[in-house]
A = this chain, B = another copy of it.
Amino acid sequence: MSRRSVRTERRLFLADGPKAVEGALSVEGCVVEVFATPAALEHHATLLTGADVTLVDDRALASLSDSVSPAGVVAVCRHLDAPLQHVVTASPRLLAICADVRDPGNAGTVIRTADAAGADAVVLAGQSVDPYNPKTVRATVGSLFHLPFAIAPDPAAAVRAAQARGLTVLAADGGGEDDLFDVDLSGPTAWLFGNEAWGLPDELAALADHRVAIPIHGRAESLNLSTAAAVCLYASARAQRSSR
């Protein structure tokens, strides 16, 4: 379950640990099978009530889990991503598009933060990391099961799909011409975030309606991807809340 090819072919992935299993069980039809150690079954009895649990020993559980200290309960789950057109045609007011976000922890944190900020969906575009990577699933802390998301090979197509639905696409770009706190964020918005090392390719940033920089007041050169995404998404959340 830990190799992408296997996960992709079978369209299955692993929810590892009680928080992820709880999220998976909350989505109808998502869970194929739950495995737990006797100790974990006892400890998480409430969580696992009604679930069809296969008991396994610690060693078998550890062989399933990617974690260095497995929590004793995992669920084999069906993939949850929706087609790009589905997450965009649902008239979102706030969308996050990740283009070539490669670090599993960053991608998971963006999904978690987008959920917290009230975004309607996340699009993992281009060469972005597999959202079903165990590290990504863990970093979402359950939000992978709450928030609609799409996998889109072509970031430009994702940008155009958002624009076609009336969303203003804002590229988060340290060299952008607009200051985050001067931009009108009250309307339907899609944020476009780039790779953690090299940012957004020029030709992709050029497709956005505006290129927006978070003001840097001190001597830091930049923010890291997941903190930058948090600042942008919450600036939108705040503006959209006060405009309603």
Q: Which residues of A contact B (CB under 8 A)?
A: 109, 112-119, 139, 141-143, 146-147, 181, 214-224, 226-231, 234-235, 237-238, 241-242
> Which of B113, B115, B220, B229 is A219 in contact with, Cβ under 8 Å?
B115
With most chain B CB atoms within 10 A of its CB, the pick from A219, A238, A242 is A219
Which of chain B's residues have a CB closer than 8 A to the CB of A219? 115, 142-143, 146-147
Total copies of the chain: 2
Question: Who on chain B is nearest to A224 by CB?
Answer: B109
Question: Who on chain B is nearest to A140 by CB?
Answer: B220
A71 to chain B, nearest CB (A): 14
How far is it, in angstroms, between the C-alpha of A142 and the C-alpha of B218 when the chains are bound? 12
With most chain B CB atoms within 10 A of its CB, the pick from A216, A217, A220 is A220
| Contact, CB under 8 Å: B218 / A146 | yes
